[in-house]
Structure 1
């Protein structure tokens, strides 16, 4: 069956709500088809998706070992006057499915930075980055140097190899990198730039600033904040210190401070309550003592002098009378 129904559309067939409803209600038909196809491992119905007119995809959870997050997809097709037809069945990964990584050929699995101490990595026999040493490099300056110096190398960089190196260096430390875009000055005017030789020297150099890209190849239009022309910021602040504004300080109360303050407040309230209760309990005793002090017997006892005190006062009066006048 042609699920694209191009001919039917040209004939004026319209995909209406009735067809859409019949397709959506065909979950039982889709489940039976998936059960027959899979044999086992078909879970609950996960919903439907209308991906094109006259077709609807029913999805069922895949209860299979090792297929967490996968689902069964059954596409049903329907045209006016026809019956529900199973168009396609497939086991597909969901958004959280565990899938195998993209295939990488074995000879391409070594990446930059994988080479360690003691590892051997021979180049391919047809490595496009290298050419035999008896051929010209395409860089006149390098060709001049190899003769007098007598390097005698069996191979050297080809023009393609230089272009590949320049592309890598451009991506890492080129004018479009984040560091370069944020820098005010560029490397071509920096005193820390060591020039190179040959054709690549027109656009690249080596950084000699230990606090920046030390020993790395940088593009002439690369830049960083450690440029030799960077000046120390001038102190434009006032000579006298500014007054400290207490109102501008945000007071932040920590949770432990709030708990300590609440505990202290509770203890103070409890102490005040205890003092008030003690005072209330002492009032009857004070009233009884005051009543006892105000009786006549108590007043006469307070007014009458003690016997010893009366004798002392009488002796003092006798001595005063016996003293002759001066």
Structure 2
């Protein structure tokens, strides 16, 4: 009985190249050009591509080139266009090993380090500020506004509905606890709060003033509306806010300013004329 031939293949296997064996490198007619020199040397081709794209007179000084990857490079030129001071033309050229010339892949206008750019875009709901609302403008609250919670519909009972409307239950939405706290903090820290320059300049507070109209509801303990036309008239003021127009402010003694003697600018001084 003969031994099996060690060179023979097992059933189901064919001879030839292994599946993971690398394919032979392609051959080229003549030596392959230096790819780096080819890409970096395509300056005039890049300039011509810009002229074809944007017309004559738009390409300025050549700024240099840099590699994007082993087979592509970007040439940069100063842009000579009105309104684009500091901008640059960027032309991407590419070539494969063995290529005789580079090809143009992309021509774009990009900002340089000294380019004048528009401010970073900010969504409108982040741009809006107090005082921006003008007559005729519409400003809807954002979705899931934490300042608001659903209100409740009328019950049909006049006694219940009267009380409900008074506390705000007749509206589709009412202030949430977070919304009330946020409002109270904003008013307290604002121009009509106890920390303002006006309030710090007096010892009297609005809580004791006859022109102070307390708000209704939970915020009435801390805030009211000023009814003095010469002070913070019509504004919500903190109960600890104060100003010099408090109803208990005593009148100045005497006539005119208490700090200076009156001066009559209608009195004429008679001076004898020299001979």
**TM-score class normalised by the smaller sequence:** 0.3 to 0.5
Which one has the bigger helix percentage? Answer: 1
Of structures 1 and 2, the one with the larger relative CO (CA 8 A, separation 6+) is 2
* Bigger CA radius of gyration: 1
The TM-score with structure 1 as length reference comes to 0.40
The TM-score with structure 2 as length reference comes to 0.47
